[in-house]
Amino acid sequence: MTDLSNALQNTPAPHSAPALYHAPDTAPLQRHAPIRKFWFDDVAPRESIAAERRYRQERLAVAFRLFARYGFDQGLAGHITARDPEWPDHFWVNPFGKHFSRIRVSDLLLVNAEGEIVVGEGPLNQAAFAIHAAIHEARPDVVAAAHTHSLYGKAWSTLGRTLDPLTQDSCAFYQDHALFDDFRGVVLDTDEGARIAAALGERKAVILKNHGILTAGPTVEAAAWWYIALDNACHAQLLAEAAGTPQPIPHDVATLTHEQVGRPDGALFAFQSLLEGLVEAEPDVLT
């Protein structure tokens, strides 16, 4: 018998391969009454100020860990803030120099309108106070704001223009983001923070020319998810323009799509889907 014949004889039969599925349950499938449900249940309001504070703190700490996973952790730069529910002129923020991947609820600082730390141990990022204090003062509807030096946000900011409505996802920012084109170095005073807040206006995001991107929202979840989505939109347009000449979505379709995909509740649940996995993998974030 030839070597080839021996090899063929020793080849396992196809049916000897391990099964790729489990035997189905033989019990009859129990169906409930047919329902239509295309969206999530409303998030229940917290029962007290203390519970709301804890809710915001937990999501703020998780947002930092998520930002680290996305690579939004350039050196000492970057900050996310959450307004305190009891003292509206105070906000919670990350301590300066603590890597995003290590931040826990207990690390967060509570800062007043004068830039003084009233809970926690510093130091405080001076740029974080200068920018965020102005935004929180100018926008009472804003609970949270996020700014880091993400790679694609920085790259897009050098072009000195707003994004085009190139994709369904980028339409979340269609006519809902602005350009701040007056870069003067590191933002260290509230006057410059006020000019950034003025450029932001009533929108959800602003591109800081030669600096990066910033988002603001009515929840921590919205501000954080919109930051992730805006950096992604910058990345997508950079790739599209490098490949050729992108074809924008028409104004009326982009406007409709913005109404569909740019809502805060959508951002909240998008963030929630990321939160669950992170907390399971890194439970110390809540300590």
- The DSSP bridge pattern shows strands 205-208 and 177-180 to be parallel
pLDDT at 201 over 80: yes
Residue 18 lies in a domain: no
Instruction: Tell me the average pLDDT across 223-251.
Output: 98
Q: Output the pTM of the full model.
A: 0.89
168/227 Cα distance (integer angstroms)? 16
In a domain, 220, yes or no: yes
- Of the two residues 192 and 237, the one the predictor is more confident about is 237
Q: What is the pLDDT of residues 13-42, one digit of tens each?
A: 555 555 566 777 778 888 889 988 888 888
**What is the spatial order of strands in the sheet that 79-83 belongs to?**
117-119, 109-111, 91-93, 79-83, 144-148, 212-217, 205-208, 177-180
Return the residue matching tokens 């599925």: 21
Higher pLDDT, 276 or 36: 276
- State the pLDDT at residue 7: 47
Q: What is the pLDDT of residues 62-74, one digit of tens each?
A: 999 999 999 999 9
| Total of domains in the chain | 1
> Would you say residue 21 lies in a domain?
no
- CATH number assigned to the domain comprising residue 223: 3.40.225.10
What distance in Å separates the CA atoms of residue 102 and residue 285, rounded to the nearest whole number? 8
User: Can you give the pLDDT at residue 29?
Assistant: 86
* Residue 39 in domain: no
Give the pLDDT mean for 99-103: 97
287 domain-assigned? no
pLDDT mean across residues, the chain: 91
Task: Write down the pLDDT at residue 285.
Answer: 98
Structural domain of 205: 49-282
| SS3 track for the chain | CCHHHHHHHCCCCHHHCCCCCCCCCCCCCCCCCCCCCCCCCCCCCCCCHHHHHHHHHHHHHHHHHHHHHHCCCCCCCCEEEEECCCCCCCEEECCCCCCHHHCCHHHCEEECCCCCEEECCCCCCHHHHHHHHHHHHHCCCCCEEEEECCHHHHHHHCCCCCCCCCCCHHHHHCCCEEEECCCCCCCCCHHHHHHHHHHHCCCCEEEECCCEEEEEECCHHHHHHHHHHHHHHHHHHHHHHHHCCCCCCCHHHHHHHHHHHCCHHHHHHHHHHHHHHHHHHCHHHHC
186 or 130: which leads in pLDDT:
130
Give percent above pLDDT 70 in the chain.
90
Residue 10 lies in a domain: no
CA 203 to chain centre: 16
Q: What is the pLDDT of residue 8?
A: 45
Domain membership of residue 17 (yes or no) is: no
Residue 15: CA count within 13 A, CB half-sphere? 0
> What integer pLDDT is reported at residue 189 of this predicted model?
63
Residue 188 predicted with pLDDT over 80: no
Residue, of 115 and 15, whose pLDDT is higher = 115
Q: Is residue 87 part of a domain?
A: yes
What pLDDT sits at residue 16?
52
